[in-house]
Chain A
């Protein structure tokens, strides 16, 4: 490693950094007087809601901010080098050597037209190593193997689109550690991945960081993840650093109000017991015995199967294989599984957007499996869908009023003159502020947009709402607020939910009944209480175990309590200078901190 500067310098130091974005003629402050430092070998989490400025810090530290960003004041030192105002060409000499990046979205972060081999071997060319073909190949394979990429030699000739998200992230990790920079910035490295994949990836990441003695800035919105993997946490709120403390301190008793709030939210979702439900305890609504109750369930599927023809005579694949469950009226059933488990295909068959190969779909006791064409409108009066991404589900050119009224117009419900009143009633129900009706999606926050989508789904007085990963794109606190809204709407209107999610902590919070899918088949289903407290299958146990936040739940009793000056928490590597550097450099911003 070309570490010619003194190793005593902190890996990263920010002194009173303020940063603006140019927006037309305006300047918007994204960071306000942020100061912190990261010692050599330290793993520090940077936590905050979306819009708090975490990604801006990650960009400023790696020189990857958009052109509209300008550092108004303060300075940034990476491994002792001032990088506050560098040209792109100067930055290219810092990156890779002194600072590396593990990007947020593995799916889009590898060049689609180059093979994996080309992209891994590129780092040798960048470092100016002249290697022979065989040598380059061997070294590339070695790097991939260290990051636990399966069949590493075969991967070299593959293109990114041929690999899964988890594999791509391992490859990106291999590239980042292959360069071995003094500081690694991991920007939400697993937010696009399933929990089980996330767990494996972070295990590899933790091990490599330990072996390399890397300093890490771990940017995440997930406090549970932060406390599991970092020794220290920086908390950002609206561009200001409000807390800078050891994870052990935060977990036991956070001194800053905002941090306490975040911890409380995270813990609530982690430890919340599933909603108590007498009906489920007696298993009346469970899909294993469909239709045992007197009233028919709001939604029921029996033996639902969908096969997709294989290419070039290959065997047909079963995306959904004999799935049966029921959603009782006024209850929430969660459909859980990793990506590719058949959750979304099931949802699309229920909405009759995809034809089932076999099986049946019943809504309120009526068989709707054969409903075709325009007749589906009557089905959609009862069953509605809320998508994951409110940005693409709402037409940006339409006003909120028109968006929410659209199903009414399409189905000819309510006289045209009364529609606006109905829309206002719905917007009030989802607690959107006055005047939202005339705004456009672009003027709303992510959480507000999702509220609009929920309002639209309730517009035709639907009794079943399919929430397809409806909370996944939102940050924790917004997620919590939308969760509360969903629960309230259920109490108020008796709506039934089919809640599709890969995130078990929100499922635990919301669902009465859980159906776990794996590779198109139901591996286990039962009341949420059973699934979360006494899972019967290994697969479900594994899934539960992968949920981050063990340290958060373990709470008190952390050994660092007795040694308040030690800067390294138990999980951090014991680099020789880890004790001294951070204490000398840490200058917390006191403005917003009530310490």
Chain B
């Protein structure tokens, strides 16, 4: 178990290092330089000031020194200060992260609910034609771009129905609608895996036993089929977390919500290197850790694994 954790932690470090490198290379290859952009609006900025700021951030050094310096800072947890606002990077992120987390977690919850609803209906519906339509839904969902769906939803709800304010007003609706836009593409892979799991489980002998008992189709689904197909589904949720964060950024931008999305967008435009690196580093860290947690939880859903991993003190469900 410890060995597994160590290897997974090693993998996480490699992922962090690769994302850092990609972002570093992208920023380096941009034609303009961050300090010039930062001071462009400042009429009194002369070459001396530019040089001083560059030296302060280390931008006057050769690229490989910058690469090592910035990476070292990130690994030590020193995220530095934003170029554009002078605020500490952590502070800047901390001020908006709550909003993004609310959107992302509501979106994830909705996507899981959508996936469960699709698989339940597919299991319960008798008509083969209706089933075929429902089973095809996830493929459709996965091919809808978030930004397009967001614009369509805004057009309908804000401009035509006028039930949604164009800007977030703190109402439940202004959270739910963007979350739903985010949830639809995210639900697709979850629904596909869950559908397959349900389809396979419903062929198994124990489902026959449950049906032969006279259990209603609903009961067969919840107690026997659904519970048995959870394993692969939770595993796939771990892999959708990245998509979820990326989708949140786009959704926030479309719905003009404050959050990591708008901060990231502005930071990129301003070439605010410390802020971009800090944002990418932290979100990658969150995704990697969350995926690991999901992977560790998944096997525990199967009692066959639980009993062999756990000690004798594991709580047992009685009749």
> Interface of A with B (CB < 8 Å)?
62-64, 67, 87-89, 91-97, 99-101, 103-105, 108-115, 117-118, 120-123, 125-127, 133, 136-137, 140, 156-157, 159, 161-162, 172, 175-176, 179
- Residues of B204-246 contacting chain A, CB below 8 A: 204-206, 208-217, 219-220, 223-224, 227-228, 230
A113: chain B residues within 8 A (beta carbon): 227-228, 230, 301-303
Tell whether A105 pairs with B205 under 8 Å between CB atoms, given A95-B212, A111-B223, A118-B317.
Answer: yes
Select which of A93, A140, A162, A172 is within 8 A of B209 by beta carbon. Answer: A172
Is A137's CB under 8 angstroms from B319's CB? Answer: yes
Nearest CB of A to B195, in Å: 16
Given the contacts A113-B227, A115-B318, A159 and B303 also touching, CB distance less than 8 Å:
yes
The reply to whether B304 and A67 contact each other, CB–CB distance below 8 Å, is no
CB distance from B227 to the nearest CB of A (A): 5
Shortest Cβ-Cβ A-B pairs, 8 listed:
A96-B214, A117-B319, A101-B212, A108-B205, A157-B316, A95-B214, A111-B206, A109-B205
Contact between A118 and B206 (Cβ–Cβ < 8 Å)?
no
- Minimum CB–CB distance for B232 against chain A, Å: 13
How far, in angstroms, from A137 to B223 measured CA to CA in the complex? 19
| CB within 8 Å for A92 and B217 given contacts A64-B212, A67-B128 | yes
Cβ of A56 to closest chain B Cβ, rounded Å:
14
Measured between C-beta atoms, what is the minimum distance from A90 to chain B in Å? 10
Q: How large is the interface on B (under 10, 10 to 19, 20 to 34, 35 or more residues)?
A: 20 to 34
CB distance from A117 to the nearest CB of B (A): 3
Indicate whether B42 reaches chain A with its CB closer than 8 angstroms: no
B216→A122 contact, CB < 8 A: no
Can you list 21 contacts pairing A with B, beta carbon distance less than 8 Å?
Answer: A64-B212, A92-B215, A95-B212, A97-B214, A103-B205, A103-B212, A109-B206, A110-B206, A110-B209, A112-B206, A113-B227, A114-B223, A115-B318, A117-B318, A118-B223, A121-B319, A126-B213, A126-B216, A156-B319, A157-B319, A159-B303
Q: How far is the CA of A126 from the CA of B220 in the complex (A)?
A: 11
Establish whether residues A114 and B224, one from each chain, have CB atoms under 8 Å apart when the complex forms. yes
Chain A CB within 8 A of B48 CB: no
A95, B228: Cβ atoms closer than 8 Å? no
Q: How far does the alpha carbon of A93 sit from the alpha carbon of B211 in the complex, in Å?
A: 10
Which A residues lie within 8 Å of B316 (CB)? Answer: 115, 157
Q: A114 — which chain B residues lie within 8 A by C-beta?
A: 223-224, 227
Q: Would you give the 0/1 interface string for B294-319, flagging 1 where the beta carbon is closer than 8 Å to chain A? A: 00000001111001000000001111
Query: In the bound complex, what is the Cα–Cα distance between A96 and B209 (angstroms)?
Result: 10
Q: List 10 additional contacts besides A103-B209, A125-B219, A157-B318; criterion CB under 8 Å.
A: A62-B212, A91-B211, A95-B211, A95-B212, A96-B215, A103-B208, A112-B228, A115-B317, A137-B318, A176-B212
Docked pose: A175 CA to B211 CA in angstroms: 12
B126 contacts partner chain A, Cβ-Cβ < 8 Å: yes
Instruction: Report yes or no: A100 in contact with B215, Cβ–Cβ below 8 A.
Output: no
B:188-213 near A, CB below 8 Å:
204-206, 208-213
Q: How far is the CB of B199 from chain A (nearest CB, A)?
A: 12
